[in-house]
Amino acid sequence: MREYFSNIYRSIRSILIGMAVTIKYMGRRTVTVQYPDAIPPISPRYRGFHEYEIDRCIACDLCAKACPVDCIYIETDGKGKNAVLTRYAIDYSKCMFCALCCDPCPTECIHMGKVHDLSGYSRSEMIVEFTELAKQGRRTPEPRWMAKARELGPKAPEWIRKLDEHYKTGSPIGWGKVGGVDTKATPPLRASWAGGSVAQRAAAERQETEV
């Protein structure tokens, strides 16, 4: 009998807790984030598409072994300490974003990033070749809209240009603010959306100033 009433009490209590959260937000004004012109709220520990630093990778294969769905593909030439990495890819149609691949990495060359948008027209586009991205100076996949925004140059949203700089240079960026980027955590240099490195962009800006 005691267990019967205890179950009723727990059921009513759990319903009231859930309704309290609903009632808390019922009177609030609905706010629509104008994405991608404005950055959406991102938690500091958000697990987005991976960042991969190929220069730190030793091709130990521990991340692939830890993956529960076998979505990480690693190919090398040679064995042991003489192994040369030729391919590092992740199939995001299978990835669960569990971050289990990050913990066993001895060099911390792979970790969860902040990019959350990766659309495509086929399953093959969900396979990201990180070795090819490294040749472009990138550590994480790039959404389609971000590639188009680069063509806008200075007209591109400010936070997108700062994010682009973050992934190109590895500069720190603050994710604690809702609806914006902490500019104090980023260097003053602007990344070029038209191509070239940050250093090249800074040199070009200095030449324009001198002229």
pLDDT in tens, the chain (211 residues): 788 889 999 999 999 999 998 888 888 887 787 776 676 777 778 898 998 999 899 989 999 999 999 999 999 988 777 888 999 999 999 999 999 999 999 999 998 987 887 877 888 889 999 999 888 888 888 777 777 777 777 777 766 666 666 666 655 555 444 344 443 443 333 332 233 333 443 444 444 444 4
Contacts of 93 (CB under 8 A, 6+ apart): 123, 126, 127
The domain made up of 44-141 is a member of CATH 3.30.70.3270: yes
Q: Domain coordinates of the chain in residue numbers? A: 44-141, 143-211
Q: Classify burial at 97, counting beta carbons within 10 Å of its beta carbon; exposed 0-12, middle 13-18, buried 19 or more.
A: middle
Q: Is this prediction's pTM over 0.75?
A: no
